[in-house]
Structure 1
Amino acid sequence: MITLTTENFTERVLGSEEPVLVDFWAEWCPPCRMVAPVLAEIETELGLAVGKVNTDEHPELMARYGVMSLPTLVLFENGEPVKQVVGARPKRMLVAELGLA
């Protein structure tokens, strides 16, 4: 997984030619910890780049994309957010909601 920061977000997500799934999370968020292994499986099984934004460390990215609840997962394609899921989900549901199946 890619650790995303304010400094590398443009290059790693907006400038990526491949889709990137961005996980907006925080250490204190139990559902964020629940979804982390699911995202690792998705990254491995689907070959999808997954990046994580610690919202406590980079609140400006949270604000830029209107993230109000954690975890929020945003799928970026060609530098644009195309799908968003709020809250933890089982892998099957997450893959379906993001249109990755």
Structure 2
Amino acid sequence: MAADTASETSTETPTEPIHIDGQAHLQEVADEYDVLLTDFYADWCGPCKMLEPTVETLAAETDAAVAKVDVDANQQLAAAFGVQGVPTLLLFVDGEQAESIVGVQGEDQLRSLIQQYTE
């Protein structure tokens, strides 16, 4: 993955969530896609499990890329973004954090949030 066209910004949006491993990886993914919805979650978190099908649907059906960050495996990354409870959703636009939402959200709410930045 050395010299691919990293400067290309019209990258095809993935239809499945990208699992993030560390801050550098998150920044790389945020820079690669115009809009990135990032789900900070934990395997032991009931509300996170409730949100998972919604996150997967948004990955498949919207123009936003979707990333998942396991807070137990990425404690420093979660702390760097001030994540204190899960699920926490961060929306990145053009590589910068634009929105932060804590708690389970409905698909319609998240879809309209994404559409504010993708239309």
Give the TM-score taking structure 2 as reference length.
0.76
Match of 1:42 among 58, 62, 68: 58
Bigger RCO (CA 8 Å, 6+ sep):
1
Cα displacement (A) at 1:18: 1.7
Which residue does 2:81 correspond to in 1? 65
- Structure with higher Rg: it is 2
Percentage of identical aligned residues = 33
Match of 1:10 among 27, 30, 48: 27
Structure 1 unaligned regions, length at least 5: none
Q: CA RMSD in A?
A: 1.5
Query: Where in structure 1 do 4 or more consecutive aligned residues deviate above 4 Å?
Result: none
Measured in 1, the distance between the counterparts of 2:105 and 2:26 equals: 25
Residue 100 of structure 2 is aligned to residue 84 of structure 1: yes
Structure 2 unaligned regions, length at least 5: 1-16
Measured in 2, the distance between the counterparts of 1:94 and 1:8 equals: 23
Measured in 1, the distance between the counterparts of 2:100 and 2:79 equals: 15
Give the TM-score taking structure 1 as reference length.
0.89
Q: How many residues align?
A: 99
